[in-house]
Structures are given as structure tokens and as C-alpha cells.
Amino acid sequence: RMDQALLLVSNELPAPGLNLAARSGSCHQCLYQFLAFVPPSNESLRKPGTASVMVDTQHPLTLLLNSSVGDRDICKIQYHFGEFGNYSLVVKTLSTNTQTVSCDLIINEGPINSYLPILFAFLVYMGILGILIAGRLLMKIDPVRNWVYKKLNPRATDRMINSELGSPNTADSINCDPAPQSWSTGSRQRLRSLDTFRGLSLVIMVFVNYGGGKYWFFKHESWNGLTVADLVFPWFVFIMGTSIALALGSMLRWGSSKWKVLRKILWRSVVLILLGIIVVNPNYCLGPLSWDNLRIPGVLQRLGFTYLVVAALELLFTRPDSGTWEGRFPALQDILPYWPQWIFILVLETIWLCLTFLLPVPDCPRGYLGPGGIGDFGKYPNCTGGAAGYIDRLLLGEKHMYQHPSSGVIYQSTMPYDPEGILGTINSIVMAFLGLQAGKITLFYKDQPKQIMSRFIIWGIVMGIISAILTKCSKEEGFIPINKNLWSISYVTTMSCFAFILLLLIYYLVDVKKWWSGAPFLYPGMNSILVYIGHQVFANYFPFKWKMQDSQSHAEHLTQNLTATTLWVIISYILYKRRIFWKI
């Protein structure tokens, strides 16, 4: 099967036989898992005892062979098997006098290179990009452009030439009504980099949600650590915070009262939460939606609640005019006037730390951050997530949580655990608040790109230093490991570090130098809610999914998932050209 290899164990030792166990290299402090009993050799027939097993190829394995009687270790081998490979492990004595045992691993049939489809897909997309770039360069040549004018409908041609790729009109500002004619030209300027960043996060999110070609690094990390799939949700939360700063300031400058803005914030939050509970609830796979098994937390639910808290916090302290602050320390004008917000966020983070490390959890050590199951040598099998899991089970009930957490595969945990649970929402608010800070920087230093970029760099460095201290630059051994399931504070600071640096690069390329229009990521970024909900609702419908010829092929899964993701980019482009934007 996919991500598996065949291992044939040949035992030339006499009775009593051997036990074969394995431990994944990605499973921290895990118990060895029994794979097979290998019978002893038949001395009269001089025939070795054999056993065949399927072994995982996603991560390196440690194989342990020990005697079935007395539990004496015979040998231990560390090896990274290849997909669809055929291997033999021969156990024999080198010398009858010394009874020295050797364990030799032999490759009977070489594995396939399961990563070639990724290389091929990359080359295809680079080829398409090259063709598009060449087309744009050719359109700058007068004879070619004149020929195109003659072939195309004049009206369509004018629309194509006069529209800047990825340049939205003012009427499509986020969270705002169409702009009246009396607004100044400066207020109409929209940062394409924000939509591009949002779109990039969304495209990766759609791809990994559709399966990511079934590659392990396009799935969520089993517990501590990061994969590609773990990057996108916090980036989406971050850019939502950035948009809050820009949108609320604009609405207040346009004359909206704070009460009107607050009603809009409440409405949008409620709609997001209801969409998450009713429309994209994963428990539909269990049958018609019922309160008995309704999953209460979720991605949209967390986005809605986080938006409510951060937007209300900003509304309470924002100023309609974001001009230069005349107080002391003008270099900190985007921070000091908002000290009550920072106190609120620090109080929230203190609550998270106290609950995480001080809350007593039945039958679990205080401050436990592990996955439970076979992790920590099987000492705490029912402690998945520590206080975070306990609070969700206590307040929501096990049936109203996510039933198949990522820790269930590697760590074999059996307790329900929700990665969008209650306690982690505190740190998603912190993540959005850091995004809000990025938005304030762009407001306070408007038309000063060097100031904006320098502050993005400083914030990225500060967040990176905090992450290095919290994690000790280690995946497992830090004070607070990076963990997407827990939404640990080190996860938030690390993702914020990446977000500031990535936003800096996109801002420089798109808004400062204008070397890149933001396409194609800008289009889904401007219709993010529609694309997210649409890709969830139509996930099992053609042409986003079809019956495969070989369901055990990474290539077919990758083709299907990339096709589905590309279709949503095309759909968002068509909606962009038709000026259709779904806002809440």
C-alpha cells in the first residue's frame, strides 16, 4: 500500500523464536509496537522461520528483535524504508562457538521515488508561469499588440489592457461598503500584498485539506513540530488581524459610528460561527447533523470568535485619525497609545499559561503537554493535550469534539481532541493581535515603505528570539514546544515570525517595487470566505474529486488535489473579473 514496504524476516536461530517490534522516528519517547512473531528455524529441515510484515516508509523506523522467552534483545536496526520496496532481514549466528548473532538487512527489490510527481508538478506549473510571463512581454511589442487588437473584440481588449492584473477597485474594500465619490484618492489605495498573503495561505490550505497528494509533510504534524499544513491557518488568522486594523480605521474615517461598526463586527462573527457549525461541520460524515454528535469547535468558529475579540478590542481604542503621535517616544507610536490592548493580551496569555501548567487534570501530571497514547512510554494514555483536552471534554463533551486528531496515527491516542478547542483560542487571539500590529504599522507609516519594512523585520526578529528561547531551538526538548494542536505560545511566536518576514517580502515585491501583481494568489485572497466554504462543501463532487484508477498512487492523488486547487483559483479569477466578491 501507499507509504508502505514489505519486510520479510528470516530467522535461522533455534527455538524459542523472536518478537519483532518497531518504533517510528517521529514518535517521541514511544513504546515499541509489536509487529510479528518470527518462528525459530527448523533444524531437521534446515529451514529458517519466516514472517512478513508491512512497515511504514514515511519516517525512519527503529526495529527491535528480542527473544520471545526472557525478553532478551537480539538486535536493533535503524532504517528508513522506501515506498513499495521489498526487504529481507536475515537473523543468523556468525559462529557456533561464540553464538554471535548478526542481523543483515537486504534489499530484494528497490523502492520507487515517490517524490518524482512533486518535481513533475513543479515543472508543469513553472512552464505555465513561463508561458504567461512570455505572453505579457510579447504584449509590450507594438506589432504583436496591434495584431491582438485586431483579433479580439475591441471592448474585451480594452478591458484586458486597461485593467492591472490583481488591482481591485475601491468598491471592493474588505468589510466596507462601496466608496462614495467624496473620498480622497489616498483613502482608496488598497494594499495588494495583504490579499496576496491571504490568498497564498488559502491556496495552501485548500491543497492540504484536499489531501496534499497524501504526502506526510502536507498533513498536520502528529504532535510537536511543523509541516506545511501547520503554517497556513495561523497565517490566515494573522492577516485577518492586519485587515481589522485597516478596515476599522477606514470605516471610522468615513464617518461610521462605533456602534454601527460594533453591530457589523457582531454580525460577521455570528455568521462565521454559524457557517462553521452548520455548513462545513466535519461530523456530516457520520450522517445527518444531530446535536448528539455536533462538533462545536472548528476553523470558522475560531475565526469568528477571534475576529470578535480582536476587532472589538481595536474598536474600543482606535482613533479615526492615525496621524503622527505627539507623545514621547515617537518611534513607538504604533504601540504606546494602545497600552490597554497590550495589557489585555498579556492577561489573556497569563490565563493560558496558568490553565495549561497549573490546572489539575485527573490522572495526568500537572502541566502535561504530550499526546497521550503510546507517547511518554505509555504512562499517560488518556491525557492527550493535557489541560486543553480536559477543558474541552469537560465543557463541550467528547461527542462534540474532533474525533480523529492527528496524534491518533503515530501516537495511537484514543481520546477525542480538538485542535480548534477552547484553550487554544486564547493564543489565536494573540496571533490575530500580532497581525493587528502589522496593520497599525502600515497605517502609522503610510507612504513610508522603508519604515514599514524595517518594523516588519524587527518584529520578525523579536518573535524569532522568543520562539528560540521557548523551544531551546529543539522540536521536543523546549520549555514550550511548537505545537499546532495546542496552539502553544511558541507556535504563535514562530508563525508570527514567519508571517512578518513573508508579509515583508510580498509587500516589497507587490506594493513597493510592483514587480509582481500578486496573481494568482490575489484572486482567492479577495474571495477567501467563498473559496474556503466552497472547497469544503464541494470537496467530494466532480471535477474536484473523481474515482481513481490507482488509489495507492501519490501521483494520482497529487494530480487530483492540484487540479481541485487550481480550479478554485480559476473560479476566484473569474469572480474577480466579474467583480463578484462575497463579503459577510
Angle between helices 232-253 and 422-444 (to 10 degrees): 50
Which residue is associated with the grid cell 518535481?
Answer: 119
Distance separating alpha carbons of residues 44 and 418, to the nearest angstrom: 57
Distance separating alpha carbons of residues 584 and 581, to the nearest angstrom: 10
Phi and psi based region of residue 363 (left: phi greater than 0; alpha: psi -120 to 50; beta: remaining): left
Distance separating alpha carbons of residues 564 and 116, to the nearest angstrom: 20
Distance separating alpha carbons of residues 439 and 499, to the nearest angstrom: 12
Does 80 participate in catalysis according to the annotation? no
Question: β-pairing, 33-38 with 18-24?
Answer: antiparallel
Mark out the alpha helices in 254-321 (DSSP H runs): 258-274, 299-317
CB-CB neighbours of 101 under 10 Å: 15
Bridge partners (DSSP) of residue 53 are 7
CB-CB neighbours of 24 under 10 Å: 20
Alpha carbon dihedral 445, 451, 452, 457, in 10-degree steps, equals -150
Q: Which residues of 233-259 are buried (b: 16+ CB within 10 A; e: fewer)?
A: bbbbbbbbbbbbbbbbbbbbebebeee
Bridge partners (DSSP) of residue 75 are 65
Q: Which of 28, 59, 80, 220 does the annotation list as catalytic?
A: 220
For residue 281, give Cα distances in angstroms to 19, 286, 366, 533, 556. 43, 10, 32, 11, 27
Distance separating alpha carbons of residues 390 and 363, to the nearest angstrom: 11
Question: β-pairing, 4-11 with 86-95?
Answer: parallel
CB-CB neighbours of 210 under 10 Å: 21
16 preceded by a cis bond (ω within 30 of 0): yes
Residue 262's φ and ψ, nearest 5 degrees, are -60, -40
Alpha carbon dihedral 441, 442, 446, 452, in 10-degree steps, equals 70
Distance separating alpha carbons of residues 70 and 275, to the nearest angstrom: 58
Give 47-69 as a 3 state SS string.
Answer: ECEEEEEEEECCCCEEEEEEECC
Residue pair 105/88 in contact by the 8 Å Cβ criterion: yes
Distance separating alpha carbons of residues 544 and 560, to the nearest angstrom: 7
Catalytic residues: 220
